Structure 1
Amino acid sequence: MGLVLILLALIAFIVLATTRLKLHPFLALLAAAFIAGFAYQVPSLEIVKTITSGFGAILGYIGIVIVLGTIIGVILERSGAAISMAECVIRLLGERFPTLTMSIIGYLVSIPVFCDSGFVILNSLKNALATRMRISSIAMSVALATGLYATHTFVPPTPGPIAAAGNLGLESSLGLVIAVGLLVAFVTAMAGMWWANRFVNRDVPLESDGQEAEEVEFAELRARYGELPSAGKAFAPILVPILLICLGSVAVFPSKPLGEGAVFASLSFLGQPVVALAVGLVLSCLLLKPGSRREDFQERVSEGLQSAAPILLITGAGGAFGAMLKVTPLGDYLGTTLSSLGIGLFMPFIVAAALKTAQGSTTVALVTTSALVAPLLAELGLDSEMGRVLVVMAIGAGSMTVSHANDSFFWVVTRFSRMNVATAYRAQTAATLVQGIAGMLTVWLLSLVLL
């Protein structure tokens, strides 16, 4: 029982350090790793060795993937590619299903672009469409926000799910994580859209001025980018790497469906996440304006590195924390105890949901929970490749439950949608609760079929 009390104290420390003390999650996780080492009586000479090896091991492979994915996202954001993708979806779906259109736009854009940035970029487009279609701005805001949130939480190359996959030993199985993540994310996006539709015909007062100014603002925003890239160029840096990673995963199946010749060798190489995202980075360079391409590229790389640095540090510290827990007797004890309870995949979901709700960051919840759960997989009967993938999905579902006042995304949606806080809790916060529950139910149903 003492082992569990120490673990609960560590979780409480991480939450309090990041919320009350405003300590950066990197320092909170690193401190928790040291505290765990002393509390579980790990030999003092082994503590630093375990922390540094755990930090380096997770970043040795996943770090490059996070950096490349972040740079691609910055280029897509700055080049107007996100708006091109949105307009392409509008042309395909028309204006008959406005909330579905916004959900799918968010679902696609947030694969490479952070959900906060994606909402800011697409906010004016969303308001213009709400006015044109004569539909509630609140409904459109929730549909866009939940669509963005879905792929942000479940689908690599977003850093959170990549880090969770790395902590759970899935570095070479990202194609499978992407494939399952796209499915679970789609279900949660549709659940968010279902909740958004509750506000379609509601006359909710907004806190700012009228909609006409927003339409002008969108026109100005679009003009600011100049000539927008074509839909093909906009989608290529996202879809090509995902396709390569998935084909690479298929190529290395034990049955060798693509043989063992040149096709196998090529796809095995190109399907490695680092190589696939490097290809995506090359394709993203086509989005840069001719004439100043070199300068723009250098600037975007600098922005991407600045954005990736905190995520890399949090991911590395999470790896260090997980490595420390692995060398303690906690895994055996908890595994035996939890196995007898029979909650399986619901355990990582509950832990991630508690962390997310308490401290606000989806990425921190994904990294911390995956580090906590990694030593327990064998005892929980989830040590297979598919078991680990579904654990990533269960953690993702928990890590979106719920977004409220301690989450930066909540305030981005609230501020740019001109909702008051009470309305935001009824609309956005409740929507993320619905998404989390729908995501976990989907993961549980998949486990009945795949495990």
Structure 2
Amino acid sequence: MDLVLVLVAVVALIVVATTVLKTHPFLALLLGAFLAAFGFRMPLGDIVATITGGFGGILGGIGIVIVLGTVIGVVLERSGAAVTMAEVVIRVLGQRFPTLTISVIGFIVSIPVFCDSGYVILNSLKESIARRTSTSMVAMSVALATGLFATHTLVPPTPGPIAAAGNLGLTDQLGLVILVGLLVAVVAAGVGLLWANRFTEAEPEGEGAEELTAAAEEFESFKERYGTLPGPVAALAPILVPILLICLGSVAALPAAPLGDGTPADLVRFFGEPVVALLVGLALALLLVRPGADGTRRESFRDAVTDGVTAAAPILLITGAGGAFGAVIQATEIGDYLGSNLSELGIGVLMPFLVAAALKSAQGSSTVALVTTSALVAPLLGDIGMDSDLGRVLVVMAIGAGAMTVSHANDSYFWVVTQFSRMSVAQAYRAQTAATLVMGLSAAAVTWVLSLVLV
């Protein structure tokens, strides 16, 4: 119980520091990591190594992707390609319901792509559609974030759900996991979309919000300054090609090895790595760069890279600090404590949901919550009456629902969404964190009903 009280106190401190005291999230998270380490009585010799390891670990997975995605976004913005993409998507899906459009795009993209990477890749498109339709950036940001988050936690081949399925003995039943996952994810994304639509009159309150709002209100003049816009194929290639490569890489990496084990499959897996795929996207974006004052593309591309790296720097720092805080939590015994106590409640498929939700809220990573909870509850499936194939699939869904409940200060995704959307921290808690809460609860409710009917 002491561990839980320490965790609650530290999280509350981070919330107060970032919202009331206006402390930069990087410093608040870093201080929270140290206070948590002291509060959990971590050996002094392990504290710095754990914090720096967590900082570097999270950036090793998402840092380069953030930078590359940001640079691509700058190029797409300056070349007018993002405007072209918005026009194409709106022409295909319509413009009456822009939040639905961006939610559907996120829902599809996050099946093979980490939600963090997906948000970075689609951020420019989101802003272009918002400008084109004069829609609230807050509502659009939440709609995109929740669409991505739904399939990220529920549908293989995203690493978290596929690892959970493996831990629960469903390696040969991934088709069933995907089918049920899509059903539950549609409900979760729909609830997230409804929550996003509550903010259709809101505007971002964070740094840079004034410029963002002005751009949204003056879309036509914003569009006209580009002159001739890139064609749809050239404009979409820097985003669609990386997504396609990542999708193919995910397929090639499936346990069944559908593409075989030879050199062609190895190449597909290599180019399907998000970093490599985005490098390909960056090369394609280079073709869109307009000539600079010297008559060549070199200067313009250099400026775009410089501005992209500058824009990515605070996001990297905040994301890394969130990883450091999460690493301290993961290094303690609080996960085992929460799991062992919640597993004794006897509430069927809701037990894995509560375990995963507790782990997610405590340490921030949805993937860690999925993997850890599935390993923890695997021996308990018989005790909760979920040891059939379908029962195990529903347990994966329950764990996935818990793994989205909730995204807050210790979650790197929370900070990616907050920073890229220019929301203040307080506004992000009301919009993004609350959205993940209602999504998780609705997904858990659907899973519980399915367990009553089908198991």
Shorter-normalised TM-score: what interval?
A: 0.5 to 0.7
Q: Given the alignment, which residue of 97, 102, 126 partners 2:133?
A: 126
Does the C-alpha gap of structure 1 residues 270 and 197 become closer, same or farther in structure 2, counting only changes over 3 Å? closer
What runs of 5+ residues in structure 1 fail to find an aligned partner? 128-136, 157-163, 171-175, 205-212, 356-364, 414-423
Read off the aligned partner of 2:340 and give its amino acid letter: T
CA distance in 2, matches of 1:269, 1:115: 22
Q: Given the alignment, which residue of 100, 105, 108 partners 1:103?
A: 100
Read off the aligned partner of 2:73 and give its amino acid letter: G
2:240 equivalent in structure 1:
239
Q: 2:131 touches 2:219 (CA, 8 Å); kept in 1?
A: yes
> How much does 1:192 deviate?
6.2
Alignment of 1:331 onto 2:339: no
Q: 2:352 touches 2:395 (CA, 8 Å); kept in 1?
A: no
Q: 2:84 touches 2:230 (CA, 8 Å); kept in 1?
A: yes
How many pairs were matched up? 384
Q: 1:80 touches 1:225 (CA, 8 Å); kept in 2?
A: yes
2:265 equivalent in structure 1:
264
> How much does 1:149 deviate?
4.1
Read off the aligned partner of 1:126 and give its amino acid letter: T
> How much does 1:53 deviate?
1.9
Alignment of 1:82 onto 2:89: no
Does the C-alpha gap of structure 1 residues 41 and 217 become closer, same or farther in structure 2, counting only changes over 3 Å? closer
Alignment of 1:345 onto 2:353: yes
CA distance in 2, matches of 1:269, 1:301: 24
Read off the aligned partner of 2:74 and give its amino acid letter: V
Q: 1:252 touches 1:268 (CA, 8 Å); kept in 2?
A: yes
Q: 1:51 touches 1:323 (CA, 8 Å); kept in 2?
A: yes
SS at match of 2:4: helix
After superposition, the CA RMSD in angstroms is 5.0
CA distance in 2, matches of 1:181, 1:284: 34
Does the C-alpha gap of structure 1 residues 153 and 73 become closer, same or farther in structure 2, counting only changes over 3 Å? farther
2:407 equivalent in structure 1:
399
2:312 equivalent in structure 1:
308
| 1:12-411 alignment runs, 5 A limit | 12-93=12-93, 98-99=96-97, 103-105=100-102, 108=105, 111=118, 121-127=128-134, 144=140, 147-151=143-147, 190-191=190-191, 217-290=218-291, 291-341=295-345, 342-346=350-354, 368=364, 370=366, 373=369, 377=373, 380-381=376-377, 394-396=402-404, 398-399=406-407
Read off the aligned partner of 1:7 and give its amino acid letter: L
Larger deviation, residues 237-246 vs 111-120: 111-120
SS at match of 2:287: helix
Does the C-alpha gap of structure 1 residues 107 and 286 become closer, same or farther in structure 2, counting only changes over 3 Å? farther
Does the C-alpha gap of structure 1 residues 253 and 184 become closer, same or farther in structure 2, counting only changes over 3 Å? same
CA distance in 2, matches of 1:184, 1:298: 44
CA distance in 2, matches of 1:146, 1:327: 31
Does the C-alpha gap of structure 1 residues 350 and 57 become closer, same or farther in structure 2, counting only changes over 3 Å? closer
Q: 1:146 touches 1:189 (CA, 8 Å); kept in 2?
A: no
> How much does 1:69 deviate?
1.7
Q: 2:58 touches 2:320 (CA, 8 Å); kept in 1?
A: yes
> How much does 1:258 deviate?
0.8
Does the C-alpha gap of structure 1 residues 184 and 307 become closer, same or farther in structure 2, counting only changes over 3 Å? farther
SS at match of 1:381: helix
Q: Normalization by structure 1: what TM-score?
A: 0.66
CA distance in 2, matches of 1:228, 1:219: 13
CA distance in 2, matches of 1:326, 1:286: 44
Read off the aligned partner of 1:250 and give its amino acid letter: V
Q: 1:151 touches 1:182 (CA, 8 Å); kept in 2?
A: no
CA distance in 2, matches of 1:14, 1:322: 13
Read off the aligned partner of 2:319 and give its amino acid letter: T
Larger deviation, residues 30-39 vs 57-66: 57-66
2:382 equivalent in structure 1:
none
Q: 2:238 touches 2:285 (CA, 8 Å); kept in 1?
A: yes
> How much does 1:264 deviate?
0.6
CA distance in 2, matches of 1:15, 1:432: 12
Read off the aligned partner of 1:87 and give its amino acid letter: E
> How much does 1:78 deviate?
2.7
> How much does 1:265 deviate?
1.6
CA distance in 2, matches of 1:58, 1:224: 39
SS at match of 2:343: helix
Q: Normalization by structure 2: what TM-score?
A: 0.66
CA distance in 2, matches of 1:17, 1:199: 25
> How much does 1:442 deviate?
4.1
Does the C-alpha gap of structure 1 residues 219 and 52 become closer, same or farther in structure 2, counting only changes over 3 Å? closer
CA distance in 2, matches of 1:385, 1:48: 40
2:385 equivalent in structure 1:
none
Read off the aligned partner of 2:373 and give its amino acid letter: L
